[in-house]
Amino acid sequence: MTSNIDAAAERLFQAISTNTPCDPVRDLIGENDIEAAYQVQERLIAARVEAGGVVVGRKIGATSKAVQDQLGVDQPDFGVLLADMEYTEDQIVPMSRLLQPKVEAEVAFVLGKDLAEGPLDIAQVRDAIDYAVAALEIVDSRIENWNISFGDTVADNASSGLYVLGTERRTLDEFEPVDVEMSMTIDGVEVSTGNGAACLGDPLNAVAWLAKYARDFGVPLRAGQVLLSGALGPMRPVEPGQVVTATISSLGSATATFSA
């Protein structure tokens, strides 16, 4: 199986390196072998770190029923955020770094404390979060035509692409993530709506799930890391030159402007 895991990682790394979509990797690792899929992801991230990448956080994927339905999966997954995946609102997001991007609106959290010991329950998660901001995740797939199974998306770093964070910071004393309402527009036209409850019942549930899963995998969450907690509503494809804004109650907005 190790040779298959290496081959799957190499297929995905070639897709990244050449900016060319590849065939699914489920022929090598199966559709639902979660352990094998995360081993492929680990190899991919290790290669990117070896090339100079810096791990700055995690993303949780497929947390909303709408996105699970869109992707044809039935459970969440997680991926790794690297420093070069973040763009600020005043930067142009280069389409040249993307293959078949879609956007989704999320609540992002920044940790003030490690989530490595203890029960990792909601109370501990709340205590560990420094602040939250509105976020846009630009999901992308190295698999041609988004033809993915659960194993494919996990192996492909949970279909991570890039992300943009808003600038209005709120502590959990100032708002409740479960209560937020979201509207996402592309070029001023509303294309997606949702709320905090759509994200595993509460974005904090998603963070607690991630904290336990990450610890089980031997890579616990650390202070200072950014956590993209998962979509609040359906994701939408984005085209060159478009401007996408996520407005999230209590958190303001996050805007991504894509290169023409």
| 10-34 tens-digit pLDDT | 999 999 999 999 999 999 999 989 8
Distance between CA atoms of residues 175 and 142, nearest Å: 36
| 78-94 tens-digit pLDDT | 999 999 999 999 999 99
Determine, yes or no, domain membership for 49. no
The pTM assigned to this predicted structure is: 0.94
Q: Which domain holds residue 235?
A: 55-258
Total domains, the chain: 1
Determine, yes or no, domain membership for 219. yes
The first and second tokens of residue 33, run together, are 């072998």
Examine the pLDDT at 118 and tell me if it is beyond 90.
yes
Mean pLDDT of the region 147-169: 96
Specify the CATH number for the domain of residue 222: 3.90.850.10
pLDDT band at 67; cut points 50, 70, 90:
low
Burial annotation 148-181 (CB, 10 A radius, 16+ → b, else e): bbbbbbbbbbbbbbbbbbbeeebebeebebbebe
Distance between CA atoms of residues 131 and 170, nearest Å: 5
> Do 134 and 247 meet the contact criterion of CB atoms below 8 Å apart?
yes
Neighbours of 47 (CB within 10 A): 16
Determine, yes or no, domain membership for 235. yes
Q: Give pLDDT, residue 71.
A: 67
Examine the pLDDT at 151 and tell me if it is beyond 80.
yes
Determine, yes or no, domain membership for 84. yes
Examine the pLDDT at 73 and tell me if it is beyond 90.
no
